[in-house]
Amino acid sequence: MQRYGVMIGPVRSAANDPATKPETPLDHTHEMPAIAWLERDGFTAEFKADGDSVRITGTTQRYAADEVRIRDYYRFEGASDPDDMSVIYAVEARDGTRGTLIDAYGSYADPAVGAVVARMNVDPLAAD
């Protein structure tokens, strides 16, 4: 499906743990259209891994990993460099705060982000 000029879609229903699942998530070539789409859909906060929790950047607001669920995610690969890979998680906290959590993908992935993501539940958005 295309929306706002970017291929989008829900997390695969078979995904139990996106940090270690064997199949690859949806591929895209540019992050900004996906980020803009997510922002239009209400994912406006920027989350960062902070110890065993996530924090909204620029604030002291924290959430334990089990208070945040992954609603969707997108993987990106650089056009010429296989090491230029990233993943954007669209996440939602129990209080309704929506935002993104971004990490490198593959060998450059941040272990702190991976540890937090591994403890989050996956609850895909309903397809349009």
Q: Which secondary-structure segment (H or E) carries 31?
A: helix 31-40
- pLDDT < 70 positions in the chain: 1-30, 78-84, 126-128
Instruction: Quote the pTM value.
Output: 0.74
Q: What is the pLDDT of residues 17-31, one digit of tens each?
A: 444 444 444 445 567
Cα gap 108→16, rounded to integer Å: 22
Q: Which residues pair with 63 in a beta bridge?
A: 54
Residue 72: CB atoms within 10 A of its CB come to 24
